[in-house]
Amino acid sequence: MTEYGLQPSYIRLDYSSSYGPHSSTIPTTQWLPTSITGAMGSYVGWNTVPIDAEDMIDGYVALAKALIPPTSSFNFATVFNFDSGPANRFIPVASKALSVVGTSATGSPNKAVSFTMNMRTEGGQPFKVVYLDFYLATEFNKITAGGFSVAMLAVANYLGDSANAFSGRDNTRPSAIVSGTFDLNDALRKQYRMI
C-alpha cells in the first residue's frame, strides 16, 4: 500500500445534476474478486469481517441520496484496483449501473455549490468526500459535527463504520467528523459559464 495515494483500491461514483456530470472518488481497503452476495467482489471490513462490495456501495448510495436534490442522481459505480504488476496502474475491476435519484428536499440555490464532508482517519489524516451542485441550506459558513443534518450524520457514520471498508489515503479507517464546508466551485462556475 502506498501511503497518501489511492492504493490499493477505490470506488468511483458517477453522478449527475441538472447542470452536468460529476464523479466522486472514495478510497477503500484492498478489493477482493470473490463476491459474497452481489457481483462486484468484496472487501474485508475494518472489523475483519468480509463485506460484499455491491452491498457496501448500495448502502452508501442509499444514504447519500438524501444529500443530493431530486434533480441529481447516482448513475454508475466502478471499483478500481491497483495492479502492481506489469500494468502498474489502476484497473477497473467491477462496475454497476445505478439509478438512484436524490431526495434532499431543501429548496435553496445549488448551481456550482460544493459541500465537503471533512473527517479524520484513525491515523489522524484528512478524509474528505465532496458533493457538487449541493443545495445550500445555510450561508457559506463552516459547520461542525453538531451542525450536521441527520442525513449528513448518517453518511459520515456509514463511512466510518468498522463493518465497511472505506479508507483514508493513509490506509486507516475514517473515524471522526471534523466539519462541513460550503463553497462556490470555481471550476464549475467556468463550466456553467457563470463567470
**Residue 1: pLDDT band with limits 50, 70, 90:** very low
For the ranges 15-19, 77-81, 102-106, 148-152, which has the lowest average pLDDT?
Answer: 102-106
The SS3 of residue 151 is: helix
- Above 60 in pLDDT, residue 3? no
Residue 146 lies in a domain: yes
Using a CB cutoff of 8 Å and minimum separation of 24, what contacts does 34-43 make?
39/94, 39/96, 40/77, 40/79, 40/94, 40/95, 40/96, 41/79, 41/93, 41/94, 43/9, 43/164, 43/165
User: Which structural domain range is residue 96 located in?
Assistant: 9-191
Q: Which residue, 68, 74, 67, 73, is CA-closest to 149?
A: 67
Give the count of domains, the chain: 1
Residue 168 lies in a domain: yes
Residue 105 lies in a domain: yes
Residue 187 lies in a domain: yes
- Above 70 in pLDDT, residue 113? yes
Q: Mean per-residue pLDDT for 55-65?
A: 98
Average model confidence (pLDDT) across the chain: 93
Residue 1 lies in a domain: no
- pLDDT 10s digits, 170-179: 999 999 999 9
- pLDDT 10s digits, 21-31: 999 999 999 99
Residue 2 lies in a domain: no
Assess contact for 81 and 31: CB atoms under 8 A.
Answer: yes
Q: Which three cell numbers stand for residue 65?
A: 441520496
Q: Mean per-residue pLDDT for 15-43?
A: 96
